[in-house]
Amino acid sequence: MRLRRFAFALALAAIPVCYLLSPAVLRKDEHATCSQDVRFSPALGFPWNCDSPIFVALAQRPVALFDRVGPGKTWQSRPLFIAAGALSRAWMLTALDFLRLDIPLHARVEPIEAAGWLGYLLINVLLVAGAIFLFRRALAELSVPAATLAAATTFLVANHVVKTYFWTPHTQMFNIFIPVFTIFLASRTLDGTREHAPAREYATLLLLGVACLLYGSFLTVGGVYAAAIAWRRRRGEPKWPGAFLDFARRAPIVLLPTVGWIAFVRRVTGTFYSHETAKWDEFVWPYKEYARNGLPSLVRRAFTYQQHFVDITLGELAVPLAILILLLVLAIGAKIDVRRFRPISTRLVRACLLALAFNAVFYAGLGFYSGRLSWNLYPEVLVIAVVLAVELSRSGALRRRTLDRAALAIALANFVYWWIRPGPYA
């Protein structure tokens, strides 16, 4: 068993390494993809994102976050990510000095500091490893066949977000960890057999608020967590308006650390810069559009955003949606009764539906949307598909051997597709 787990971990670790052998980003596409190609050798390389030099520079001098002008203030909204990068860089400096290693890396314009790059790479490794761990923990009680579980887990690594951002300093790798963490946390919260201390729940909400200073999408985790608490507490009772009031009492706690940080920066510098709102009009676009052009223009722009969101999301989620639809057809044909699902299956599906609902509202209303953000909806669909496949297998409607073979074939095809496809593209 230990040898099998080691082989599985080695196979997952090999996927990002294989991306170093993927086709390089073409020179003509570098501006559109905001990246440059960095080479270890003629055969080995990765895309260096245009934001990465700022992250490395801030890891060298985190106090630049408080600069009134210059690139340092760009990431004032994510101070804990910069702090983590600075701490990780310090570890790498010590390790490189002890080992007397020099890793020469150059983008086309400027050299890349090895310690800064490796520091953020360590963060990316931890985020992917954490996502894999939580994914398997969330499904542990489901008794998923080993081959099917292994195949499903590869989707956390074989995707365009990991291929594009794993080797370069950036916050986008949180889009791998956050949705899986949301499912895991919501599923445990919905479990009525566990002890849930109110003080611990409030502390968790506050910690999720602190995590928003790592990456803003932790806000959705707090929303889902607060909703899951309200759902569990109001089980068997009319959920309206009691559940809504429960949610409204807890959810604002997640905002407190961000509000406190903004107030602190304003006190120190006299201003606060949010790259997300300044460049992309995230969440403030309705106000700006209404103020500039009136209500009819706001309605047209909102419709355009929603159409853009749906078009991109359906394209990015095509594979898990196709699998889920196929399994639903099999379930309908086999007359599977969802009321006979095991409690863990029901709980996981509810957790995924809560996460889907919050993420869909959050990203549809963001005002900026791209394919990489669709990953926040991907694991939810994937987990629902796994739950349905396991319940079909348990009922005898789907043979376990057939399930394992199909899962492995789909996972292999998915990996090969992302490996050989030119990039980056997210």
Which of 192 and 183 is assigned the larger pLDDT?
183
Q: What is the mean pLDDT of residues 12-20?
A: 91
* Cβ atoms within 10 Å of 102's Cβ, excluding its own: 7
pLDDT, tens only, 204-239: 999 999 999 999 999 999 999 999 999 888 765 656
- Angstrom distance (rounded) from CA 426 to CA 424: 6
Q: What is the mean pLDDT of residues 371-375?
A: 90
With 90 as the cut, is the pLDDT of residue 383 above it?
yes
With 70 as the cut, is the pLDDT of residue 109 above it?
no
* pLDDT score, position 236: 55
Write down the pTM of the prediction: 0.94
* pLDDT score, position 426: 47
With 60 as the cut, is the pLDDT of residue 425 above it?
no
Which of 136 and 340 is assigned the larger pLDDT?
136
- Angstrom distance (rounded) from CA 371 to CA 353: 20
* pLDDT score, position 218: 96
With 70 as the cut, is the pLDDT of residue 156 above it?
yes
Between the CA atoms of 343, 345, 347 and 348, what dihedral angle is there, to the nearest 10 degrees?
Answer: 160
With 80 as the cut, is the pLDDT of residue 414 above it?
yes
Q: What is the mean pLDDT of residues 111-128?
A: 93
CA-to-CA dists, residue 375 to 207, 242, 299, 313, angstroms: 23, 32, 27, 9
Please name every residue paired with 105 in a beta bridge, in sequence order, or none if there are none: 112
Kindly report the average pLDDT of the chain as a whole number.
90
310-327: burial string, b at 16+ Cβ within 10 Å, e else = eebbeebbebbbebbeeb
